[in-house]
Amino acid sequence: MLEPSSRRRAYTQSGLYDATYGFISDVEMWMRLARNGDVAYVREPLIQVRIREEGHPETVNWAKWARVAGQIHRKYIPCAYRGPELVLRKLALEYRVARALIRGVSASGLQRLRRQFA
């Protein structure tokens, strides 16, 4: 485990949360930290994610957050990959973002239809 001074130095070097990324700004911060030093992957979940109630502003704006997550990953993919692997990773990212948007549009459309005919 890093000493507090090492953590502080990492945050000073990389910066803290960038509010432009909203409630997923921690993802972008960890990408910056990983670019500037070593980070580790822990297999077991350390947090629990809850599903927000229907109508919550962040639930309603799901498409915005899918695009923001894609934006973060587009920014940092070139830090990890080069050449043909970079091209493949970028294509895979665009596929996943588009798929999430299509699936979300389909799901939100179905929810509206269910409410309309309920």
Where do we find the tokens 């309309």?
Answer: 116
Q: Binning pLDDT at 50, 70 and 90, where does residue 113 land? A: low
According to the model, what pLDDT value does residue 89 have?
95
pLDDT: which is higher, 52 or 100: 100
Separation between Cα atoms, residue 65 and residue 60, nearest integer Å: 10
Q: Residue 31 CB: number of other CB atoms within 10 A?
A: 19
Q: What is the tens place of the pLDDT at every residue in 54-111? A: 777 777 778 888 889 999 999 999 999 999 999 999 999 999 999 888 887 776 666 6
| DSSP assignment string, 34-58 | HHHS-----SS-SS---PPPTT-HH
pLDDT for 19-31, tens place per residue?
999 889 999 998 9
Note the pLDDT of residue 82: 95
